[in-house]
Structure 1
Amino acid sequence: MTATHELPAIAIIGAGPSGLAMVRWLNAKGLKAVVFEAADGLGGQWNPAGAHTATWPGMRTNTSRVMTAFSDMDHPEGTPVYPTREQMHAYLQAYADRFDLAGAIRFGCRVEGLARKEGGWRLDWRTEQGSQSARFERVIVATGRQIKAEVPQILGLDGFSGRLGTRHTSAYDGPADWQDASVLVAGCSISALEIAAELAHHADRVTVAYRRQRYVLPKQIVGVPTDHVMFTRVAALMAEKFPPEAVAEGLKAQVLKVAGNPADWGAQVPHDNVFAAGITQSQGFLPAVSEGRIATRPWIERIEGDTVRFADGSAERVDGLLFGTGYTLSLPFLAPEIAETLQLDPVGMDLFAQTFHPDLPGLAFVGLYELLGPYLPVLELQARWVAETLARPELLPAGEQMAQAIAATPPEFKRPPAVPMNALAVIFARLLGAEPAFGDWPRLERALAVGPLSPASFRLSGPDAQDDAPARTAAAAAAFGHIVSDALTPEEQGMLGALAAE
């Protein structure tokens, strides 16, 4: 084992969006870190050459360019509403260049162990030259949530004999392999539906099977990106104040208004409660179903050779199976004692504000949650908060307070299938002291209430406030012709009034 010396006191595992935001904000607080990245380049999922990338050539984001950015840097002029994988990778590379982050990254370093050592943490990693180890005072795990693909156990799956075999959507690399084939896509995730919609233009037949029919939002609503309309501050605040049943009814009404009921398009019937059903997104899936280019089925009961039998008794012969069934949380390098303390399982772990554990001081986890909606604004807020607590430890709640918060969390909320991005963004912004108060910004009240939670809106006040943040917040809200007037509508006035009422 070779000991490595003269390293900063802080280590970050992963150079994807979380790790890049983390080292950028540590630098801003005068704190130096070293980033360990297994791949030969940065970008995480957006790195086409990364071993764990689940993206494919020409793939586009399902969140808008305004909301798929950090607060310090917009996408270049001319970027489409939904950037491609290649444009996202270029954006992250430009971000690293702008803030001189590459010098902190050690590429080709695969972390294999993390354990306690002498009041700090021992990190073990492997390079082409062999194994190395060092002690750090602080370690930040930013490896990402979508690493280990999940394929469900299905009777007969191992014996599937279709000519194209089985694979997870994380291994999908475009429609060429599926040309003129009969394809079964299993799952109702965004990736599953987006891939099915793409294959509907190339394959001979596309069928989608899922355990439950989710409500399906389009990527744009009357020309406005859905993430500008659905993930608002008002929605997050109302979800905190009102009973879950009332919030579910309100959300369902909004979804039906902009997207309709999947059953009316010819898909399966979703659960009446929108939270029980879940929400997914795809611009082309429901239209393809209504046109007969995609068939939908309930979940798979068993597989017999190249024949798939479904729970409703129907059956279909297929050439290939694609599983869009998500990912399990995988942190194999954690020492067993750490994993046990965290109550780590394939779905999640026990953390205060998705970040810290009171019994693991000096260890933080960034970006290891599953979000519904844009990631980058939330990742940046979390990174800013972590950096702030490392620069000013008195800002971090006491261990007892964190333990009480973890214990008080109802079991059903400890491992949610996905967290709405606006809910988590508001939580991190409050912890950071960067959540703008409506009353402090009367000209921006409407933009802040019902406009997008743009990254710039979290630079209005608190640490690292920017002089141009008001103008950039207004511009983000007005993008695509969305919030172009300061005047609240009667409906919006009613929502704000309901929030203000005791």
Structure 2
Amino acid sequence: MSTHSEQESLEPAATLWRDGRPVYDRGDTICVIGAGASGLAAIKNLKEYGFGVDCYERETGVGGAWNWRHDRSPVYASTHLVSSRPLTEFPDFPMPDTWPDYPHHSLLLSYLERYADHFDLRPHIWFGTEVVRVEPADGERWDVTTRSTGGYGAERTSRYAAVVVANGHNWAPKMPAYEGLDEFRGQVIHASAYKDATQVRGKRVLVVGAGNSGCDIAVEAGQQAARCWHSIRRGYWYLPKYAFGRPADQVGHAAAALRLPLWLRQWLFHRALKLTVGDLTRFGLPRPDHRVYETHPIVNSQLVHYIGHGAITPVPDVARFTRTGVVLTDGREIEPDLVVLATGYLPRFEFLAPEILGTDAAGRPSLHLNMFPRRHPTLAVAGLLQPDAGLFPLVHWQAVMIARWLRLRELAPERARSFAARIAADTGERWNSAKVKESTRHWFEVGHVEYLRAVQRTLDELEVAA
């Protein structure tokens, strides 16, 4: 395959124009935005279905969120998987059997780099190139405007047959608005800016938020800080990483795959927790206001350990900040040197007009299978999921589905129109047997077994002989 510089020199002069700017026609080529795990899976599977692919990656390497060198990466030094290796690996590219059950982030990056090399994906990627705009064009095609990352050089617009958006949804921090925060004289950072334990060592630290990152950071602060408070807004169920001698997610996967009813799975889980951890309220943690599986699982074997040893002090939600401290909702005031806001992330698609993805006022897109917008059949989003297991297997089959869908449009237009009508009529199914809490954190929450079954039904519907 020719290099990008060779392609560019061979490419004819622009024959299309849009708003006075030249547009370079890429024919039947598909554009993929982002070279993280989701983008790599999209390139690989589109390529296997015979499509030409151009991928634009704003950073200088693959890996997305798992590449700690990237500015937008939320990874910190001690980050490990919270889903086990067999439920995280791509189905056609297994991780080495010698790797631990929960690999370190450096292993995940090496895995994605080897995936890119094994399937020869790098020649399709324009590194150091960010997407500025994605606009509908004639014939259900798309004009994609790019420029060098950082805004250097001229913009360039290319026309593509379809676009796969794979820019991730864990890079734009969700910052809460607290009264008095601007006047607080201590240091405040979002969890995305936390990189290693030197940032908390010897300080009085308040960690706000009880997601997986918040719990990990609280555990590190409990070991390294002079004092650690952990502000928890509501009660959660804390899953140990191991249950019955196996990674806990594998136990949960087996129960879901056996189609055990939700009430029975919940009963088994609550029974196991009662026998092992006991009543969490005796540690000062709030009582959960929901049953297990109704929020995203918190996988942490160490939080209760360090709370039980007095290294972490659970406290309620933040009411407001003062110049020197933080007032909690129970009236107590504490004086941290550092506040870490582990308050999550919001999806950002700044290169797309909100109406294209059916985005509401809160910023939540409306997509069939969390992938397909209702009125734009040649646009798809990959990886916009928050599963109760690893993401990579799900995004692999999403990418296969996208490739089959685009091929079906060519080979069986009547069947394609039927599927497009179903996309347009989507009623917002959640693919989770539990009634999940309504919050930004759970916008994309899915039960991985239920979601994969829905994907399999769709793959069967889209299958067509080449």
TM-score (norm 2): 0.84
Q: Which moved more, 1:321-330 or 1:381-390?
A: 381-390
- Within 2, Cα distance between the matches of 1:430 and 1:350? 20
User: Residue 256 of structure 2 aligns with which residue?
Assistant: 234
- Structure 1 residues 55-454: aligned runs within 5 Å: 55-119=75-139, 120-127=141-148, 128-162=152-186, 165-232=187-254, 234=256, 237-238=259-260, 252-253=270-271, 256=274, 260-274=278-292, 279-339=297-357, 342-346=358-362, 348-393=364-409, 394=412, 397-406=418-427, 416-417=442-443, 418-433=445-460
Deviations 1:431-488 (A, max 9, x none): 2249xxxxxxxxxxxxxxxxxxxxxxxxxxx99xxxxxxxxxxxxxxxxxxxxxxxxx
SS of corresponding position for 2:305: helix
Q: Is the 8 A contact 2:170 2:346 kept in 1?
A: yes
* Unmatched tracts of structure 2, length 5 or more: 1-20
Displacement, 1:151? 1.4
Displacement, 1:347? 5.4
Specify whether residues 200 and 69 from structure 1 end up closer, same or farther in structure 2 by C-alpha distance, changes over 3 A only. Answer: same
Displacement, 1:275? 5.4
- Give the number of aligned pairs: 429
- Within 2, Cα distance between the matches of 1:138 and 1:296? 49
Displacement, 1:172? 0.7
Specify whether residues 300 and 227 from structure 1 end up closer, same or farther in structure 2 by C-alpha distance, changes over 3 A only. Answer: same
Q: Is the 8 A contact 1:109 1:125 kept in 2?
A: yes
Displacement, 1:150? 0.6
- Within 2, Cα distance between the matches of 1:411 and 1:202? 35
Specify whether residues 233 and 347 from structure 1 end up closer, same or farther in structure 2 by C-alpha distance, changes over 3 A only. Answer: farther
Displacement, 1:260? 4.1
- Within 1, Cα distance between the matches of 2:80 and 2:242? 14
SS of corresponding position for 2:327: strand
SS of corresponding position for 1:72: coil
TM-score (norm 1): 0.79
- Within 2, Cα distance between the matches of 1:100 and 1:29? 15
SS of corresponding position for 1:390: helix
Q: Which amino acid aligns with 1:123?
A: V
Q: Is 1:37 matched with 2:64?
A: no
Specify whether residues 41 and 236 from structure 1 end up closer, same or farther in structure 2 by C-alpha distance, changes over 3 A only. Answer: farther
Q: Is the 8 A contact 2:23 2:159 kept in 1?
A: no
Q: Is the 8 A contact 2:294 2:437 kept in 1?
A: no
- Within 1, Cα distance between the matches of 2:42 and 2:179? 43
SS of corresponding position for 2:298: strand
- Within 1, Cα distance between the matches of 2:307 and 2:93? 38
Q: Is the 8 A contact 2:368 2:428 kept in 1?
A: no
Q: Which amino acid aligns with 1:89?
A: L
User: Residue 39 of structure 2 aligns with which residue?
Assistant: 19
Q: Which moved more, 1:223-232 or 1:174-183?
A: 223-232
* Unmatched tracts of structure 1, length 5 or more: 435-461, 464-502
Q: Is 1:10 matched with 2:30?
A: yes
- Within 2, Cα distance between the matches of 1:375 and 1:25? 16
Displacement, 1:430? 2.9
Q: Is the 8 A contact 1:271 1:277 kept in 2?
A: no
Q: Which moved more, 1:348-357 or 1:182-191?
A: 348-357
User: Residue 454 of structure 1 aligns with which residue?
Assistant: none
What is the RMSD of the two structures over their aligned residues, measured on CA atoms? 2.8
User: Residue 450 of structure 1 aligns with which residue?
Assistant: none
Q: Is the 8 A contact 1:350 1:414 kept in 2?
A: no
Indicate the percent of aligned positions where both proteins have the same amino acid.
26
- Within 1, Cα distance between the matches of 2:437 and 2:316? 25
Q: Is the 8 A contact 1:41 1:107 kept in 2?
A: yes
